Amino acid sequence: MTNPLLADWETPFGLPPFGAISDEDFAPAVDAALAISRANIAAIAENPDAPDFANTIEALERADETLGRVLGAFYSLAGADSNPKREALQRDFAPLLSAYGSEVSENKALFARVEAVWENRAALDLTAEQERVLMLTRRGFVRSGAQLEGKSAEALRDVKSRLSVLGTRFTQNLLADERGWFMKLGLDDLDGLPDFVIATAKAAGEEKDAGGPVVTLSRSLIVPFLQFSDRRDLRQRAYEAWGARGANGGETDNRALAAETLKLREERAQLLGYDSFADFKLETEMAGTPAAVRDLLMQVWQPAKAAAEADAAVLERMLHADGFDGPLEPWDWRFYAEKRRKELHDLDEAELKPYLQLDRMIEAAFACANRLFGLEFAPIEGPVYHPDVRLWNVTRDGEHVAVFIGDYFARGSKRSGAWCSAMRAQQRLSGDIRPHVMNVCNFAKPEAGKPALLSYDDARTLFHEFGHALHQMLSDVTYESISGTSVARDFVELPSQLYEHWLEVPEVLAEFATHAETGKPMPEDLLNRMLGAATYDMGFQTVEYVASALVDLGFHDGPAPADPMQRQAEILEEIGMPRAIRMRHATPHFAHVFAGDGYSSGYYSYMWSEVMDADAFAAFEETGDPFDSATAKRLEETVLSSGGSVDAADLYTAFRGRLPGVDALLKGRGLDKAA
């Protein structure tokens, strides 16, 4: 019988035939796909014809098409709907894929052909896009160690293989800790919780078969519990469990993995001739150097810290007024900040949530994309990996643009957080290949028959991930290696963070923020209060984020610490971290940094992109119309359609005419007047 992963997919839009795929199909499919890739690489390296762009660079672009198709299906499942078999496969695949990558980068004959094309590029009459792909291909080989020889090449191969194993283990340990902990709630434990939190806790209890409501470590449940629970003892217990993910001892403890990862990254950088891993990693980013990153973060840190400390003094007085002695603790902050928000803005989340229905917010994201870029979204049936997954056909002027895949609800088999990925990326080299784009979130699933309700932060997350999706869907390049979000890490968050601004456009909320029971639009007074509170508690939010980014940078900008937890504590002390706020992601559960290389030395990139997104949305505001068609067209033509075909700074300058400063960011966060 033909392995369904290797057969032609006779499915709508060529989606993976998930109903026909079993977990037992993946290992043989990966083995077969790797064999195909290796044969393709050998054919390129041994080609007797003189190296040129088509027979070397374009051939490399095509070499892993089968492998990419198989892995696209597998890793979509592994991240969003894992099980013990899939986790074991991840552990098996990590060293296999690392070994294959090393084989390619160490293939001297192959690199010689790439180098020959590079040296002869002036005579090849290449397009600007081809010149960019050639440069990136050669740079990728060099940064992967293609110029190393002997023991150095062997050492780098071993380092990369071990790092791939560590990243997989880190992710799986974190998922195990998140999946394994929950706190049962009796009737006396529900004090202060609004109906939507109780309903979410009951739904979580049903999933855990706990016989009643529970608090889990899903952000969509634990954050509102910390906001509303009157039980300080239970808030402390839940918060400490949340903060202890990856640091509970035993097989799932990530602290030793983090230390080994940092040491190996340092070794990797030194083998390649860099002073530190941060120097290596930031060389290809917009920021360029660790000093530039630290300068940006510290420009934001000081006003954010001042704002947070002023807020902490107020919240501590509220704590004492409730009869509790001692200092404000991290498990108190959200509780008293929620009470203060109600006092200052006459606003609480329980009042807001009925107006922020998941389905209506999806409609809002689609409607904005239609007004800005002419995209239309029609629900379709097709193969999915879980019953909660939804599919849409995306068109423009009647032409198919993409398939959009939405997977919105938290479950025990899904890793935490929210993300966008392309199960299949846009490219034209192998035909007009249109993308399959996924948005995966962890919103609280409602009780059966009830609408899913979001917090305002959840709604922003939905818009954020949809901004990434637009970057993938509107990609218009020839080569997959530069398609969609294949851009500098500190540029990739620009489209996502920019798209969040349209959620704040009053006319969007006036149309789509409708009550779950009455269907009536959000009252204008409530809408104004909600938007007026948009920067409320921004000192806290900025401090917990920037602290994480500074710790990430400190880990990689210099010698690897033998004890990352001690180094984390030292960095936080150096910057004067407010005691009642903790890092958004402490080291043992800092998946952005330790689950892989993606955001290592790069967690700052959200802030770097925010400098641009605040300035970019101002381009629309300056026209007087947040949906100005000319500005939207320029945004698509310069940023959204270009992928990595042009240097990121040049793309932004083409859109805006210049690069921005930090002032717009501070103003947008309400920190411009902080001391």
- Please give the positions annotated as active site: 465
Residues 6+ apart with CB under 8 A from 7: none
Residue 532 is which amino acid?
A: G
Q: What angle do CA 273, 546, 651 make, to 5 degrees?
A: 65
Q: State the amino acid at position 252 in one-letter form.
A: T
CA distances from 479 to 62, 105, 558, 564 (A): 9, 19, 36, 40
The CA-based angle 377-378-380, given to 5 degrees, is 130
The two three-digit tokens of residue 43, written as one number: 């054919």
Which phi and psi angles does 167 have, rounded to 5°? -60, -40
SS (H, E, C) 76-110: HHHHHCCCHHHHHHHHHHHHHHHHHHHHHHCCHHH
CA angle 670, 466, 377 (to 5 degrees): 135
Could you count the other beta carbons within 10 Å of the beta carbon of residue 659? 12
- What span, in angstroms and rounded, lies between the C-alpha atoms of 379 and 597? 35
- C-alpha to C-alpha distance for 9 and 38, rounded to whole angstroms: 23
Cα dihedral sign, 472-475-480-484: negative
Percent composition of the chain: helix, strand, coil (DSSP 3-state, to 5): 60, 5, 30
Length of the chain: 675
**What strand order describes the sheet that includes 436-443?**
376-380, 390-396, 399-409, 436-443, 419-424
Tokens describing residue 177: 């800790």
d(CA 170, CA 253): 8
